[in-house]
Structure 1
Amino acid sequence: DCPGVTTPPMCGEEPHSDTGGHAVVWGAEHKTKSAAECCDACAKHAADPQHAKRPCVSWVFCQVYPQCWSLDTGNWHGFGECWLKWQSDPKNPLYGQRGKFAEEFRQRHWSAHLTGKQPDGSPRNLTVPTHVPWTGGVLGAEVDLSVHWETGLDGMRSSRGESTVLWRAWESREQNLARGVRPESMGK
């Protein structure tokens, strides 16, 4: 279920997106009641002079109750998590996942969260949803909601024909470039 955009335009919200970047506030320990509150927290962080070196420029909110599916299988992400992130070039923002999950992506990762326990001790049983369960944004960005994205095994493709090969933090710059990652898509 997609609630659509729930924040003011300055938040640059894109439903079903997980913006990338360096976490300046760890979302697992930072909860808000809504995407709008999460965006406000990002704007306040950015305006605080003590964060001038790495101000929040993008944010991600878990809007699914009780939890959001994510590729980091060792973690449990609950409703209200608000991740505040810094990216070196917000005009060319990084995304970890966007839009719909391709069928081959869902098949490859179907069992990622079928083991382990929920916080209450019950067995974990969460399969890959059809769409990215997070909503996120880049402060000040203009989002064209007529463009639809799909996250596949190697990257993301848009309905406009754009494609992005996913940057992998665990690979060297040279390995990422060899796989076709654009230099501006890599973290710095």
Structure 2
Amino acid sequence: MAREGRGLNWGGSGQCSYKRITLIVFSFNIIIVLYCLHSLYSSLYIYSNKDDGVVKHTPDHIRKMEKSLRIRRANEPIELIKLVKSLKPELWGGESMPVAKLPQAVKNKITEEILQRLRNLTPNATASEQQEAVQTLRHEKLKEAKKLADGGKGLNSTILQEEAGNLVKVLESDWAALSEEIGLWIPTAIENQEHNDKPEGVEDTEDEEQILAGRPLPPECNPEIHTDYEGDCVRWGLSNLQESAADCCQACLDQAKSAKPDQKKCNIWVYCPSESGCYSPDKYEHKHMVCWLKYSEKPSLNFKDRYSEEYRNSHPNVPVFVPWVSGVISA
């Protein structure tokens, strides 16, 4: 009986040890599982609270950035920046920007006086006569402005004395910029004063084709400055750039010769000679050398010489003078 009791006790002790080991291993596995779950939950919590593409700065970081910004601003070369700005006009080739400083009222007054001077010319006045009239007015205004700038008093002048100095600068050195701003474009004749390179027997003429830049235009081109004809488009102008008015007219002649029987033949050419581009009431930007080829059974004008005052009042960006040159091909 004693042996059997001892055997039973041994078996119970072994069974207890086995259960204890199993419990320990199971507890260890539970701990590992809980640790893994905790790590996974922490990762998900971090990503769920992270803003996409947004960096959150701490108050200390913000204070450091503000301090850095103050230091950078305090060390900006303000005097150097002012000096560079003052030197810009000289680098551009002028002492100042007189047109920008000239009051708009003075610009409008000069424009009206130019218009009145041109109205006094004959309807068939040539470009040279128009240019001479404008230059005469320019010299008169320059003389008047100089007298006022020198302290002249008692002059019957439309120019205010405080504006005379700027006006002298404009009329002397920035006349081209002022002309461009008010839309004045009058072609000038080329004078061969130093070198007479014309062949003997060729007479001097003042035809329109010699006034326009580029090679002479054929007689059938019939060029008209400050003119814009309307008509059906046979060649889109924005993609048809020509070196000169003569080349634009020649493109019209070539299109008429090569057109198929069912196509319209070009009989109107419209060219932009202004380097700053030409105004048009449509939505497109018409740059220098744009050449429009058109057709019309009965050619009629869009604009001629100057835009009317009513039209300019309703279209603020319109220049005074029609910038286009065009012609109707003679049969």
- Give the TM-score category using the shorter length: 0.5 to 0.7
- Residue ranges of structure 1 left out of the alignment (5+ in a row): 111-126, 142-188
- In the alignment, which residue of structure 1 is the partner of 2:318? 128
- In the alignment, which residue of structure 2 is the partner of 1:88? 297
- In the alignment, which residue of structure 2 is the partner of 1:9? 219
Report 1 or 2 for greater relative contact order, CA contacts < 8 Å, sequence distance ≥ 6.
1
- In the alignment, which residue of structure 2 is the partner of 1:24? 234
The residue matched to 2:260 in structure 1 has which SS?
A: helix
TM-score normalized by the length of structure 2: 0.35
Q: Is the 8 A contact 1:20 1:95 kept in 2?
A: yes
- In the alignment, which residue of structure 1 is the partner of 2:311? 105
The residue matched to 2:250 in structure 1 has which SS?
A: helix
Q: CA deviation at 1:51?
A: 5.9
TM-score normalized by the length of structure 1: 0.60
Q: Return the alpha-carbon distance in structure 2 between the equivalents of residues 51 and 32 of structure 1.
A: 26
Q: Deviations over 1:125-177 (max 9, x none)?
A: xx311111111000017xxxxxxxxxxxxxxxxxxxxxxxxxxxxxxxxxxxx
Q: 1:52 to 1:135 in 2, by over 3 A?
A: farther
Q: 1:57 to 1:107 in 2, by over 3 A?
A: same
Aligned residue pair count: 121
- Residue ranges of structure 2 left out of the alignment (5+ in a row): 1-184, 189-207, 210-216
AA aligned to 2:252 is: C
Matches within 5 A, 1:65-84: 65-72=275-282, 74-84=283-293
Q: CA deviation at 1:66?
A: 2.3
Q: Deviations over 1:6-38 (max 9, x none)?
A: 333210111111111111000001000111100
Q: Is the 8 A contact 1:62 1:135 kept in 2?
A: yes
Aligned with residue 254 of structure 2, among 39, 44, 50: 44
Q: Return the alpha-carbon distance in structure 1 between the equivalents of residues 261 and 245 of structure 2.
A: 21
The residue matched to 2:311 in structure 1 has which SS?
A: helix
Q: 1:13 to 1:51 in 2, by over 3 A?
A: farther
Q: CA deviation at 1:108?
A: 1.2
Larger Rg: 2
% same residue: 36
Q: Return the alpha-carbon distance in structure 2 between the equivalents of residues 54 and 104 of structure 1.
A: 35
Q: Return the alpha-carbon distance in structure 2 between the equivalents of residues 43 and 2 of structure 1.
A: 26
The residue matched to 1:88 in structure 2 has which SS?
A: strand
Matches within 5 A, 1:147-186: none
